Amino acid sequence: MAIKKRPRRIRNNPFSRNLARENRLMVEDLIYPIFVTEGQNIKQPILSMPGVFRLSIDNLIQEAKECYELGIQAIALFPVIDKELKSEDASEAFNDNGLIPRAIKELKKQLPNLGIISDVALDPYTSHGQDGLIDSNNKILNDETVEVLVKQALSHARAGCDVVAPSDMMDGRVAKIREALEEHKFIDTKILAYSAKYASSFYGPFREAIGSSVSLGSASKETYQMDPANGDEALHEVQLDIDEGADFVMVKPGMPYLDIVFRVKEAFSKPTFVYQVSGEYAMIKAAGEKKWLDEDKIIMESLLAFKRAGADAILTYFAIQAARILKQHR
């Protein structure tokens, strides 16, 4: 009996494979997270994230210029705060002359068309390393934390930030931030909500990078970040953030939660971002350095997986490397 259906026919030639390709990764899909620190001409390597550095503002500008020249649309800023500025009330988080507002102002002066996303969270600023304020029993205080997050978001908006990104997972924070932005006439400031952020073990290198791992110690974030066992809960969280005024929603981490990315995009058709987090980066880098895997190919396959799952944009420490690869294959 003759074979009537031969799916391999399409796969047989490069031109037909290209014509039938369902998903494509573009440089415009990439967002580059950058760690910012005080000082001049600082470029400190992060041991658990080879190729990633803590940068002073002058070096941040140079890195951002390379991103812009490669076609990367936006960068995301994460602060490395000096120990003496950390406190239980995280007051440095809303200092208009603080590290992140100064970085935003300088970036906007030199690269006005590059999108700037700022992290709105307290863990870099708290002496205990939690994303929220705590009481005498170490309980996270939701509403009191939201009040500080609003001040932080307004501080970043005043500096000229394009997108504020609350990553704290406190209840009701998107609504309060949106209300404050509107009240203060920042009607064009966008909100990227970390809507489905899981209490994951993949964040270790990031916490080393910003210096919160020492402060956090053996404490966990399970009372506010999501249980990795839950999927339906992610949809409820995303719905709340959309209703409260989020412009973009995010799933974090990425690769272990591709099913969540898919479900969020299918359910809401909302611009959906995903964060390929530090632990994912570190694993690929380690295998690549040992030549166990072809690093460039694995990077591109992992990023394409996010697109196939439904992600509109990807925060990844591979952004510059991936942009160069894409440029080579144009």
Instruction: Give the active site residues.
Output: 197, 252
Non-local (6+) Cβ contacts of 7 within 8 A are none
| CB neighbour class for 291 (10 Å; exposed up to 12, middle 13-18, buried from 19) | exposed
Neighbour count for residue 151 (Cβ, 10 Å): 17
Distance CA(50)–CA(232), nearest Å, equals 35
Q: What are phi and psi of 107, to 5 degrees?
A: -65, -45
Phi-psi category of residue 274: left, alpha or beta, with phi > 0 → left and psi -120 to 50 → alpha: beta
Distances 71 to 75, 214, 313, 323 between C-alpha atoms, Å: 11, 36, 14, 8
User: What is 132-186 written as a DSSP string?
Assistant: SEE-TT--EEHHHHHHHHHHHHHHHHHHT-SEEEE-S--TTHHHHHHHHHHHTT-
User: What is 264-285 written as a DSSP string?
Assistant: HHHHH---EEEEE-HHHHHHHH
The DSSP output letter for 225 is S
**If you search the block for the tokens 């390709």, which residue do you land on?**
21
Q: What is the CA radius of gyration of the chain?
A: 20
